[in-house]
Amino acid sequence: MSRNSPEQINSKSVASLILGILSLVIPLFGFFLAIAAIILSRQSINEMSSSYSQGKGLSIAGRVCGALALAGYCVLFLYLAKYWF
C-alpha cells in the first residue's frame, strides 16, 4: 500500500458491528449472533494490528454490543431456568 492511498476499513469490523447490533434486536437467535460478533471482533483487532486497515472503533463497538446481548441472554436464561425447574 502506498502512503497516499486511503486506508481500508476492515470488513470483519463492520460485520462485527452489524452482528452485535442485530444480537441486541433479534430475540433468541441473537445469542448466536452475539457469539459471532465477539469472535469476529477479536479476529479483526488481530488483523488490524498487523496491517494498515482501520475500523478498531467499529470492532470494539461490535464487541460491546455482543457482550451486552450475551450477558442479557444469560440473565434471561437463568431467570427462565429458575422458574421452569
Q: pLDDT tens digits, residue range 6-47?
A: 678 999 999 999 999 999 999 889 999 999 999 999 999 999
The residue-averaged pLDDT of 44-57 equals 91
7 by Cβ neighbours in 10 Å (0-12 / 13-18 / 19+) ranks as exposed
- pTM (predicted TM-score): 0.86
Cell of 65: 454490543
Rama region for 55: left / alpha / beta (φ>0; ψ in -120 to 50; rest): left
pLDDT at 81: 94
Cell of 17: 458491528
